[in-house]
Amino acid sequence: MTTVLLDEQGLRHDGRKVDELRPVKIEVGVLKNANGSAYIEFGKNKIIAAVYGPKEVHPKHMALPDRAVLRCRYHMSPFSTDTRKNPAPSRREIEISKVIREALEPAVMLYDYPRTAIDVFLEVLQSDGGSRCASIAASSVALADAGINMKDLVCACAAGKVADQVVLDLDDVEDKEGSGDMPLAMMPNFEQVTLFQLDGILSSQQFKQAFSFALDGCKRVYQLQKEALMKKYFGQGEPSMEESE
């Protein structure tokens, strides 16, 4: 270990406090051809999300008679990482595509669109720690931008452990040199967890603390998602939209 992950003042290697989020910027409607799209910067992550659909399903036998199929592709650009990433989908990307789809699916009202497909494409242009959480935040905004019926937005944020201290929102360095990462996604108005993963050894107490840190981070990301949507649809400075629930 070369980096000091937590200094004497309790600050992290990039100067953040233990419960501080990296700077997040979300922009809605960035691609003309997509039905909905969003661009997110989450720390050094730069990710674009595009939604196509509801549309006809190809191949046809994949269509479901009573609801839409949600499909998701998380992909990292070859130039998004320190050393070039092979553009072919890795096993990691296949797994992440699956868990992102499963994180979004509870919020999307698929039964409103039988026999159709809704495609969510995620391109990680530059990766930092927590790219799956940032991807989920962007996808859910892009789905809303596409006008697809949703019960709730899905917000996401990770907590983790560095230097035996639970911290919010790990970046790349902390992910690699730290000792635990717990990405979490939820539907804030239903208080339901839609994505959960964990690696790294956490005591019972640390598990609870990390869980509560991550929930708190999710709620902050939710505010930023709403602000980004309001900015596009109501312009800046408009009276704030009431929460849906």
Which chain residues interact with another protein by CB under 8 A? 65-66, 91-92, 94-95, 97-99, 101-102, 105-106, 182, 186-187, 190-204, 207-208, 211, 215
Measured from the CB atom, the residue of 5 and 28 that comes closer to another protein is 5
Neighbours of 172 (CB within 10 A): 17
Measured from the CB atom, the residue of 8 and 66 that comes closer to another protein is 66
**What is the pairing mode between strands 116-126 and 69-76?**
parallel
Rounded to 10 degrees, what is the CA torsion of 176, 123, 167, 157? Answer: -150
Measured from the CB atom, the residue of 122 and 202 that comes closer to another protein is 202
Measured from the CB atom, the residue of 26 and 103 that comes closer to another protein is 103
Question: Could you tell me which residues come within 8 angstroms of residue 207 by beta carbon, excluding any fewer than 6 positions away?
Answer: none
Q: What's the closest the beta carbon of residue 28 comes to another protein, in angstroms?
A: 25
- How far is 55 from 49, CA to CA, in rounded Å? 17
Q: What's the closest the beta carbon of residue 181 comes to another protein, in angstroms?
A: 10
Measured from the CB atom, the residue of 28 and 153 that comes closer to another protein is 153
Q: Residue 125: is it exposed, middle or buried by C-beta count within 10 angstroms (0-12/13-18/19+)?
A: middle
Measured from the CB atom, the residue of 204 and 236 that comes closer to another protein is 204
- How far is 117 from 126, CA to CA, in rounded Å? 28
Across the strands, what pairs with 159? Answer: 168, 182
Q: Residue 194: is it exposed, middle or buried by C-beta count within 10 angstroms (0-12/13-18/19+)?
A: buried
Measured from the CB atom, the residue of 36 and 106 that comes closer to another protein is 106
Q: What's the closest the beta carbon of residue 175 comes to another protein, in angstroms?
A: 13
Q: What's the closest the beta carbon of residue 198 comes to another protein, in angstroms?
A: 4
- How far is 78 from 47, CA to CA, in rounded Å? 13
Q: What's the closest the beta carbon of residue 66 comes to another protein, in angstroms?
A: 7
User: Is there a contact between 122 and 11 (Cβ–Cβ < 8 Å)?
Assistant: no
Q: What's the closest the beta carbon of residue 13 comes to another protein, in angstroms?
A: 18
Q: What's the closest the beta carbon of residue 195 comes to another protein, in angstroms?
A: 6
